[in-house]
Each structure stands twice: as C-alpha cells, then as structure tokens.
C-alpha cells in the first residue's frame, strides 16, 4: 500500500534587513509584455542591455504561482531537517564531477587562521526526463511529480521566453536557443535546495565572505526570492561589489559561462558571491531555491557564427578558439568544472584557484582568497 506523502505545511520567510545597503541597480523584465510582437521586441532589447551591462536582472509576471514556489521552499526545509546520516546516503561521486544529490557542509576551510569551515549544504535534483538515475529520500520521492511539473514550468514560462528574447536580440531565429535547451533531452540542468547554516556573531567577525567571487557554468541561473541578504555582484566597469536586493514577486536571473562562450564574450557571465549577511539577519539560516539551466550535453561550445550582430560587433571567437583549442562539449565543460569545484583545497592556494579547468580555460581569482570556490 502506498505511503501517503508527508504534509509540507506552510513556509515562513524571515523579515528583510532594515540596513541601508549599497544595492545594485538592476533591470526588471516584465514577461506580461511577451505576448505581443512589440512587447517581445522591447523585452529583447531590455534583456540585451541587462546582459551587456550587469549580467544580472529581475523577471516578474512569469506565470509560476507564489504558492508553488513556497511549496518548493517547504520541501527544501523538510529535506534539511532529515538526520545527517540519512542525507549522507545521497552523496554523489564528487571526484568524478558529479553533483546531483547531497553535498554536506564543511568540505572547505574558509579561514585557515581560525579554522572556520563552510556551512553550505547542497541538494540537487536533476531533470526528471529519464536520463538520470538517482535515489531519493522518501520526503523527496513523494513529491517528484510536483518537482518535475515545477521544473517544466520554469522551462516553458521563464527559460524558453528568455532564450527567444536572446535569439531576437542577436538577430537569430526565435528557436535558436530553445533548441539547445530542451527539457526532454540530456543536459545537466537541476533544481537546487541550498542551505547556508548560520555562524555566531563572533565567527562572522572573522569572515570576509561565505563563498568567494565566481561565475556559474551554464546558461541562466534562476534564483527565487530569498530575504536573507548576502548575494553580491561585482559590477562590470567599476568592479565594486553591490548587494542584490530580494524583490517581491520576482526571480533574480544571471547569465553564465556557456552563454559567454557561445557569444564570444558578448554576453557577460557576471561575477558574484555570497557574503556575511547584515547583523539583523545573522541569527538565521539562509535557505535558497535555484534552477540551473544548461545547454544540451553534446553541444560543443563554439562561438555562434550565425548572428549578424555578433559578427558586426566583432565577437567571433571565444577564449578557447582564440588560444587555438577545440572548445569542449557542454558535458566535458560541466564535469571538469564541477570536479574542480569539489576538489580538496586550502586557504590561499593560488595555484588551485587559477588552475586550467580544461585546455584553453584557466580559472581566475575574483576577490580575496577567503573562500576558494563557487558553487
């Protein structure tokens, strides 16, 4: 007899900070305008401006209800309340570059002098399309149909429109990028429930950041509103770190490495990090809900040569091509970078932080050597 799914209950968000922080000034794309040709053309230019100038932006009116989002946060809460020994049953082979499943906290020494380790836990659920075999705890298994429906909605209601707008902005056929990001084909997209455990005030005083400056490796990352401030972007041009404000009814979206490679550097994969929260929020854990979009695994990351705009602007080679290296496939790039991210590492290890991930791509140091890799 089937075991009934446990009740998720409601999810309570903590209050936003009252501190006056230097917030980033980001564009908001209103997808309610997407249904008309003129609205779509306007949004395409807004998206292009956001990608060129900041790399981060907000999206509103994306047709995924707040109730559905809240249920995913509640599911993440239930997962992290499981005993550690239960969660440890679902740890993937990090040494092979695998990341679907559970990653426990404490794998990184983030302050060598004081011995402080990270308190970041990850739980990744891949696309439910038959390509990924994975075991799940009962609390997650009971909700897999709902998780799949949620993932598919993120594709149809958010990602597909963004990819159409990007194609229009680059003067490409509307389906150019949607054909490279199909839910039912093999790619390393995943939904992530991410918990930053709190530190004491004394511990926070010894830390500069919780995760160092990094870029994401895929196409777009979707971050659902999370009221504990901590996310910062390094603004292109000024190189100043600015806080990203949680906005009601929005998604925060950032462009990632794969789009930078495909556009020869025209689209910015913006550097970001998670820093110590404001003092009025340091007493709570920080639970995040994210979706990482990635191109099909067999796509080779060559610069798109079909875009009249990229050709006119002179963006015809990415860093692999400029150095005479064959660009990797998306699968090769994903597993190489994930393997690098999860390797054993130490505070201030500059050799590690600037390692060659794949031939033709060398990692960079984006801020102080306090935390040694992004997530």
| CATH label of the domain that carries residue 134 | 2.60.120.330
The predicted pLDDT at position 365 comes to 74
Beta bridge partners of 251: 59, 224
Residue 97 lies in a domain: yes
Q: Which two tokens stand for residue 305?
A: 């040569």
Indicate if the pLDDT at residue 192 is higher than 60.
yes
CA–CA separation, 321 and 303 (whole Å)? 8
Q: What is the mean pLDDT of the chain?
A: 92
The predicted pLDDT at position 1 comes to 42
Residue 359 to residues 168, 301, 325, 339, 351: CA-CA distances in angstroms?
A: 32, 13, 7, 15, 16
Residue with tokens 């936003």: 16
CA–CA separation, 119 and 133 (whole Å)? 28
Banded pLDDT at 372 (limits 50, 70, 90): very low
**Mean pLDDT, range 161-165, rounded to an integer:** 98
Residue 194 lies in a domain: yes
The predicted pLDDT at position 207 comes to 87
The percentage of residues in the chain with a pLDDT greater than 90, rounded to a whole number, is 78
Residue 265 lies in a domain: yes
Closest CA to 254 of 116, 94, 55, 113: 55
Indicate if the pLDDT at residue 112 is higher than 80.
no
Indicate if the pLDDT at residue 351 is higher than 80.
no
Which run of H or E residues covers position 319?
helix 319-322
Residue 156 lies in a domain: yes
CA–CA separation, 56 and 255 (whole Å)? 7
Banded pLDDT at 7 (limits 50, 70, 90): confident
Q: Are 108 and 38 in contact (CB under 8 A)?
A: no
Residue 205 lies in a domain: yes
The predicted pLDDT at position 347 comes to 47
Residue 365 lies in a domain: no
Number of separate domains in the chain: 1
Indicate if the pLDDT at residue 246 is higher than 70.
yes
Closest CA to 123 of 153, 152, 151, 87: 87
Residue 117 lies in a domain: yes
End-to-end CA distance of the chain: 40
Q: Are 199 and 282 in contact (CB under 8 A)?
A: yes
CA–CA separation, 181 and 201 (whole Å)? 43
**Mean pLDDT, range 111-125, rounded to an integer:** 89
- Residue numbers of the domain that contains 113: 28-359
Residue 20 lies in a domain: no
Out of 45-49, 129-133, 204-208, 371-375, which region has the weakest mean confidence (pLDDT)? 371-375
């Amino acid at each position: 007899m089937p075991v009934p799914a446990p009740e998720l209950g409601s999810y309570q968000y903590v209050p936003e900070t009252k501190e006056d922080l230097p917030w980033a000034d980001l564009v908001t794309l209103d997808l309610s305008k997407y249904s008309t040709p003129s609205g779509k053309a306007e949004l395409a230019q807004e998206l292009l401006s956001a990608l060129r100038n900041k790399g981060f932006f907000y999206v509103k009116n994306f047709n995924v209800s707040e109730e559905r989002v809240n249920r995913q946060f509640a599911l993440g809460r239930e997962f992290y309340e499981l005993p550690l020994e239960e969660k440890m049953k679902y740890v993937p082979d990090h040494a092979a570059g695998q990341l679907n499943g559970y990653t426990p906290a404490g794998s990184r020494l983030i302050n060598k002098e004081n011995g402080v380790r990270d308190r970041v836990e990850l739980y990744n659920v891949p696309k439910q399309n038959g390509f990924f075999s994975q075991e799940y705890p009962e609390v997650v298994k009971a909700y897999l149909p709902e998780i799949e429906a949620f993932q598919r909605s993120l594709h149809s209601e958010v990602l597909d429109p963004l990819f159409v707008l990007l194609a229009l902005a680059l003067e490409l056929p509307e389906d150019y990028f949607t054909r490279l990001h199909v839910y039912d084909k093999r790619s390393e997209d995943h939904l992530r429930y991410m918990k930053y455990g709190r530190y004491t005030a004394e511990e926070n005083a010894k830390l500069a950041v919780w995760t160092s400056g990094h870029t994401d490796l895929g196409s777009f990352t979707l971050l659902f509103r999370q009221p504990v401030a901590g996310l910062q972007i390094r603004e292109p041009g000024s190189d100043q770190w600015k806080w990203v404000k949680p906005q009601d009814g929005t998604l925060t979206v950032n462009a990632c490495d794969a789009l930078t490679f495909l556009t020869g550097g025209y689209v910015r994969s913006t550097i970001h990090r998670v820093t110590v929260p404001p003092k009025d929020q340091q007493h709570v854990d920080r639970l995040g809900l994210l979706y990482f979009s990635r191109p099909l695994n067999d796509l080779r990351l060559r610069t798109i040569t079909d875009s009249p705009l990229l050709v006119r602007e002179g963006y015809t080679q990415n860093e692999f091509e400029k150095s005479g290296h064959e660009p990797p496939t998306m699968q090769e790039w994903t597993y190489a970078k994930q393997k690098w991210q999860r390797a054993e590492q130490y505070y201030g290890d500059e050799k590690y932080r600037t390692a060659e991930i794949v031939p033709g791509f060398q990692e960079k140091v984006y801020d102080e050597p306090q935390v040694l890799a992004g997530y």
